[in-house]
Structure 1
């Protein structure tokens, strides 16, 4: 482990970005947190609280918030936590200010609409001189910010960099396990958001715990098929950033994606649900892109397809459920 990362910038001050800034500050790093909203910057710098996206949690006074993207660029490592569909535009603004070879850790989860690109591909195109890394795993922002324990995957093709980053932001209660499997680390997070909507629908329809467990398991089979086709390693897909994140997100209404699915299952409209939220449910935006990727590689993903059909209004919830339950019987493997 040769490199050290003493200054960390977090780009994106939603709940997850704020939680990661809190982790890095507790780990002893000098932290800059970029927010687009002036009121969020003021709240963090003066009240030491993100009252908009993470209310009620006292933040380290060592976190310095800014709305100046260029100021956030001058750090030893950058954590990118902007929503997946806004990543390319934010990277394009940031790129002229970032030193060549700076580790850029992708912490959002999704697949870009339109291009169907993984976020590492977006980073390679928008900021080709950056050193790409991915952080993903079972981690609700409020729990992490409060210091409750969890473990995540931190991946970089140069595993010595992954190890150094893990030491830079790791804490006894926030345990990054490092890996060199970038694709495996990001595929799990992108697909599980889509599957969590399906699990929420099962909960909203009151189909029971057995149905949710079965759907989670078959969803993991879909995630695995796509991940392996894209070049991921099985041990990564079965690890924290794959199975671990899937189990968390598909079993708690605290998940933005599961809670959205739950409301859909209860009969509410997508427009109504989305209109009430100031946070992003990535599964809604990634569903069609995940399905397009699956078709490109001739991978069967019926649960993800059902979610995509629902969020694009091609089918209603009951029609999508009926379509899944009418599928022919087949061998499990």
Structure 2
């Protein structure tokens, strides 16, 4: 595989912008796509994305575009859009002539719908491109500010994961690799759902013992799902993208899913609050879609199912 020094990011939200800064520290050319011309202009004119990062300066090598065709020259395209937009973006890439050699690096957390499937499975069913999944315990602002963090890159092709790890790793980024893309994706989905429960528990006044119970029970249920779907949880549960991401998402004060859970409880699980909440909370849609997989495989998951039931009754 040739040197991977051209990277594009699809999605200029908080996570996409953070990954853009990360890529800009190691790649020669980095292009980030936004469907918001105001964000594109601001990144190019002042190295900022104030919608997500206030006045924090971004990496100077990051160039923005509002034309998705501009991203297609890259060796790697990072997909960092919300899960609900994943299928639409894949169709755009197809229609603009995505090269089959371009690596698709999935940074989206969630499931694809109609049918319900992993995002990696959707790519595999529609593209010939090599693909991998990147995840980890990362708060976007810390990545932008180049604070130490860790990530896991997973792929069925471990040599591809290793090649991608070499692109990104640095003194401030520890990158582990795995060939168990199933377990890593499950963890990235479940952690947002569990974080909602964490916020509920905090609002309800639960203590430190309950926090430990939540993490241990969540890990056990991640393992159950993974085994049922062909993963290898025993070998991967301790990776940053599994236990690390779970702990961070559940107990960080700036976690959107945790904050939603806290406020959802204070509003007495109000349907109006749920349907009008202004921020993107991936755990809500993930709960609904994961619920259908749990039914398909007839899995007993008391913790996850209780959260799905709570959200699904209101969500419907």
Q: Same fold (TM over 0.5)?
A: yes
Q: Residues 274 and 72 (structure 1 numbering): CA distance in 2 closer, same or farther, change over 3 Å?
A: farther
Partner residue in 2 for 1:67: 66
Partner residue in 2 for 1:121: 121
| Conserved? CA contact 1:263–1:273, under 8 Å | no
SS at match of 2:175: strand
Partner residue in 2 for 1:57: 56
Q: Give the alignment of 1:98-247 within 5 angstroms.
A: 98-126=98-126, 128-234=127-233, 235-247=235-247
SS at match of 2:112: coil
1:272 CA displacement: 3.3
| Conserved? CA contact 1:4–1:164, under 8 Å | no
Partner residue in 2 for 1:305: 305
CA distance in 2: counterparts of 1:260 and 1:222, whole angstroms: 22
1:136 CA displacement: 0.7
Q: TM-score, structure 1 length as denominator?
A: 0.89
SS at match of 2:134: strand
| Conserved? CA contact 2:80–2:107, under 8 Å | yes
CA distance in 1: counterparts of 2:287 and 2:237, whole angstroms: 19
CA distance in 2: counterparts of 1:274 and 1:141, whole angstroms: 25
| Conserved? CA contact 2:6–2:27, under 8 Å | no
Gaps of 5+ in 1: 316-333
The number of residue pairs the alignment matches comes to 312
Q: TM-score, structure 2 length as denominator?
A: 0.93
2:292 maps to 1:283: no
CA distance in 2: counterparts of 1:263 and 1:254, whole angstroms: 13
CA distance in 2: counterparts of 1:112 and 1:194, whole angstroms: 16
1:53 CA displacement: 2.0
1:165-223: CA deviation from partner (whole Å, max 9, x where unpaired): 11112221122212222112211101111111111110111122211221221111111
- Cα root mean square deviation, aligned: 1.8
CA distance in 2: counterparts of 1:55 and 1:158, whole angstroms: 39
SS at match of 2:51: coil
SS at match of 1:312: helix
Partner residue in 2 for 1:295: 295
Gaps of 5+ in 2: none
